[in-house]
Amino acid sequence: MLKIHQLQKSYAIGDSSLHVLKGINLEVEEGEMVAIMGSSGSGKSTLLNIIGMLDEADSGDYILDGLPIKNLTEKKAAVYRNKFLGFIFQSFNLINYKNALENVALPLYYQGMKRKARQEKALFHLEKVGLANWAKHLPKELSGGQKQRVAIARALAANPKLLLADEPTGALDTKTSYDIMAFIQQLNNEGKTILMVTHEEDIANMCKRIVRLRDGVIMEDKKVNQVSALQYV
Amino acid sequence: MLKFLLDRDTWQEVFDSLSKNKLRSILTMVGVWWGILLLIGLLGSARGIENAFNRLFGDFATNSVFVWGQSTGMPFKGFQEGRRVNLSLSDAKKIEENVEGVEFVLPRIQQTKMIKRNFLSGSFRTAGDYPLLDDLQKKKLIHGRFINQNDIDNHRKVAVISDGTYEQLFEKNEEVIGKYIVIDDINFKVIGMFERGNLNLGPSTDVHIPFSTFRQVYNTGDRIGWLMITGELDYDIVQIEEDTKLLLKNLNDIHPKDTRALASANAGKEIGKVTGFLKGMQFLTWFVGIATLIAGVFAIGNILLITVKERTKEIGLRRALGATPFEIKRQIVVEAVFLTLLAGLFGVISGGWILIALDHFFGQGEDAAIVNASVSIGVVFLAMIILIILGTLIGLIPAFKATSVKPIEALREE
């Protein structure tokens, strides 16, 4: 599903440069649920952004579903992002002047889907996250957990191969976090491949595999016994 | 692109993002609205003033000059200075034949006469005229007709009087056509009455009688009072005036450098000043209007730039969700053009109201200062096209700004 080989990335800070990723090798199979952990500055977000085609590596290979991701034009990157990837952010990133349904339908709009089909599909995904009744509500009328559910519905709307979550529970309280995690686990059980960045051990343990980063290299990569989030709900 | 513009979603997006911040959208539009308002208001007023002038000049031949004789200021060919210069009918003929660019030469003669009717009397400026006068200096006839060629040929004793003359010699509401007035003890039949306009170029006249009759009954011979000369459209009336004077000096034994012997009044020159002023005003209007418009459009660009800055995160997110840079740019340009056009449309409407108000307050009645203040549809379309072009150009700046930021940087921004 996903193959990364000798990935390097550095940022220029003033005159000096900061070497963030120092040769990352990673393979993720279909249906996996991987937590990327590490302290702040370990390069975990950078790695996720490169995987999400939001950022570009300096060197190394990145192959997604057999497609080499390299030297993409902005346009091509946009099309790939839309087709292959679903994003879930820590701060939800919903568009605040659009209601829940419109937010979920946005990736479909960029796919060029007709309005009616789009709304039906968006509603279907909202139903899936249990928020069909909130379709016409604006983000500000939703709780944090609800917002993240809408964001998950949005990430799912385009039926991506890979879900990328950047600290999906970072802005939520514990109970809501477990709630969201239970839902993500359910998605994984249904076959979705999920990659998430987190720095919370309990959240990481709800994944099937944990990859630990420190100073731009992978320190540890191990399968874990998945803790079901449902038992806390 | 057309499909994109006809798509409901496009406008939904534009409407959403503009109505998200109504106050800002409205403030953004004020600049362009004001520019168009000024442009329409000023252009309309300028047109109105021009119309008023045109109405004032009426059908008066604007390319014309009056020439008359005075007394010489220099001795010449044995004649002493101070000799009275009398122009004659033959002078008129020679001017017509010899001066280049002359369209018509109209000789006139005028004296102040005692006119009586029943027990009413007064002194009036009475002129001997040809029918041509009515063509060059359109008379507003209220009753009857002007002098015609038959009157000239038959030396008829007929008169065309002004409304002022009528008021002095006739009772109120009295029938005027066919009545007789006595000019210097000779009976004349009134065949027409005209209204004196607001503006009289050249000497004004109370009573017109046929030139031939005037000459016969008052024994003036070949003598004429003055000449009215009109020039062909392409000729400079000032040049015609000079040529005419030179010819007349030659014919009448006047020293070529004598500036006193012949006097003239150049209507073309005077009217040219006014039309030049109107042209200048129109130019100024366009200049002010367009400059204000550009300032307004820049204001829109400026605010959109701020908006884009504020929306960096949203734009980053849209890109993460699969919006191509082109789609983002297109969106912002469409927003810019839409705002500009909407503002322009409001400007046109409120500009129209201003013109209606101007017409209401200053455009009523015969001697209105502003007549039919209006702007042609062509100008409105031109303004709109300029707005679309400017809106697109100015929209491109924030559009490029919006996509110059990498999606990841945009998303990271708090």
**What is the average pLDDT across A107-119?**
90
Q: Measured on CA atoms in the order B236, B242, B246, B252, is the torsion positive or negative? A: positive
Q: How many helices (H) and strands (E) does chain B have?
A: 14, 12
Structure confidence at residue B241 (pLDDT): 86
Judged by a CB distance cut-off of 8 A, whether residue A159 touches chain B is: no
CATH number at residue A228: 3.40.50.300
Alpha-carbon distance B11 to nearest alpha carbon in chain A (angstroms): 13
Look at B16 and A98 and tell me if their CB atoms are within 8 Å.
Answer: yes
- Render pLDDT for B374-400 as a digit per residue (tens, 0 to 9): 888 888 888 889 888 988 888 888 888
CA B191 remoteness from chain centre: 34
**Would strands A67-68 and A193-197 be described as parallel, antiparallel, or unpaired?**
unpaired
- Render pLDDT for B310-339 as a digit per residue (tens, 0 to 9): 888 888 888 888 888 898 898 888 888 888
CA distance B81 to B146: 41
Judged by a CB distance cut-off of 8 A, whether residue A72 touches chain B is: no
Structure confidence at residue A196 (pLDDT): 93
Name the amino acid, one letter, at A198. T
Structure confidence at residue B198 (pLDDT): 54
Using 50, 70 and 90 to split pLDDT, how confident is the model at B353?
very high
* Radius of gyration in angstroms for the set of CA atoms belonging to chain A, rounded to a whole number: 18
- Render pLDDT for B334-348 as a digit per residue (tens, 0 to 9): 888 888 889 999 999
Residue B199 has pLDDT above 60, yes or no: no
CA distance A215 to B99: 102
Judged by a CB distance cut-off of 8 A, whether residue A110 touches chain B is: yes
**What is the average pLDDT across B117-137?**
86
Judged by a CB distance cut-off of 8 A, whether residue A52 touches chain B is: yes
Residue A25 has pLDDT above 90, yes or no: yes
**What is the average pLDDT across A210-219?**
92
Q: In the structure encoding, which two tokens stand for residue B106, read together?
A: 């109209």
Judged by a CB distance cut-off of 8 A, whether residue A216 touches chain B is: no
**What is the average pLDDT across B44-48?**
86
Q: Which of A54, A74, A109 sits opposite B320 (nearest CB)?
A: A54
High-pLDDT (> 90) share of chain B, %: 4
**Over the range B267-303, which residues count as b (16 or more CB within 10 Å of their CB) and which as e?**
bbeebbeeeeebeebbeebeeebbebbbebbebbbeb
**What is the average pLDDT across A86-108?**
91
Structure confidence at residue B99 (pLDDT): 86
Q: Is A132 exposed, middle or buried (0-12, 13-18, 19+ CB in 10 A)?
A: middle
Structure confidence at residue B262 (pLDDT): 85
CA A116 remoteness from chain centre: 27
Query: In chain B, where are the structural domains located?
Result: 2-57+273-412, 80-267
Among residues B108, B154, B158, which one has the least CA distance to residue B133? B108
Look at A93 and B313 and tell me if their CB atoms are within 8 Å.
Answer: yes
Alpha-carbon distance B19 to nearest alpha carbon in chain A (angstroms): 9
**What is the average pLDDT across A118-125?**
93
Q: Is the pTM of this model over 0.90?
A: no
CA distance A157 to A106: 9
The mean pLDDT value of chain B amounts to 84
Structure confidence at residue A125 (pLDDT): 93
Contacts 24+ apart (CB under 8 A), B81-90: B85/B252, B85/B254, B85/B261, B85/B262, B86/B223, B87/B223, B87/B224, B87/B225, B87/B226, B87/B227, B87/B248, B87/B252, B88/B222, B88/B223, B88/B224, B89/B222, B89/B224, B90/B222, B90/B251
Residue A164 has pLDDT above 70, yes or no: yes
Residues of the domain holding A169: 2-232
Structure confidence at residue A192 (pLDDT): 93
Using 50, 70 and 90 to split pLDDT, how confident is the model at A141?
very high
Tell me which residues of chain B have a C-beta less than 8 Å from any C-beta of chain A. 8-9, 16-17, 19-20, 313-314, 317-327, 403, 406-408, 411
Residue B408 has pLDDT above 80, yes or no: no
Contacts of B313 in chain A (CB under 8 A): 93
Query: 3-state DSSP call for residue A92?
Result: coil
Structure confidence at residue A94 (pLDDT): 92
Structure confidence at residue A104 (pLDDT): 95
Contacts of B8 in chain A (CB under 8 A): 115
CA distance A53 to A61: 13
Structure confidence at residue A151 (pLDDT): 94
Using 50, 70 and 90 to split pLDDT, how confident is the model at B77?
confident
**Are A134 and A181 a contacting pair, CB within 8 Å?**
no
Residue A62 has pLDDT above 60, yes or no: yes
Between A100-111 and A144-157, two packed helices, what is the crossing angle to 10 degrees? 20
Structure confidence at residue A138 (pLDDT): 93
Q: Using CA coordinates, name the residue in chain B closest to A109.
A: B9
Q: In the structure encoding, which two tokens stand for residue A53, read together?
A: 């085609």
Residue B61 has pLDDT above 70, yes or no: no
DSSP for A104-172, written as a single string: HHHHHHHHT--HHHHHHHHHHHHHHTT-GGGTT--GGGS-HHHHHHHHHHHHHHT--SEEEEESTTTTS
Q: In the structure encoding, which two tokens stand for residue B19, read together?
A: 């109505």
Look at B322 and A158 and tell me if their CB atoms are within 8 Å.
Answer: yes
Chains A, B: CB contacts under 8 A, how many?
63
Alpha-carbon distance B384 to nearest alpha carbon in chain A (angstroms): 30
What is the CB neighbour count within 10 angstroms for residue B15? 12
CA distance A5 to A27: 9
Q: Using CA coordinates, name the residue in chain B closest to A48.
A: B408
Structure confidence at residue B12 (pLDDT): 81
**Are B225 and B208 a contacting pair, CB within 8 Å?**
no
Query: 3-state DSSP call for residue B199?
Result: coil
Residue B201 has pLDDT above 60, yes or no: no
Using 50, 70 and 90 to split pLDDT, how confident is the model at B169?
confident
Counting the structural domains of chain A, the total is 1
Using 50, 70 and 90 to split pLDDT, how confident is the model at B60?
low
Contacts of A102 in chain B (CB under 8 A): 16
Alpha-carbon distance A232 to nearest alpha carbon in chain B (angstroms): 32
Among residues B277, B304, B274, B294, which one has the least CA distance to residue B38? B294
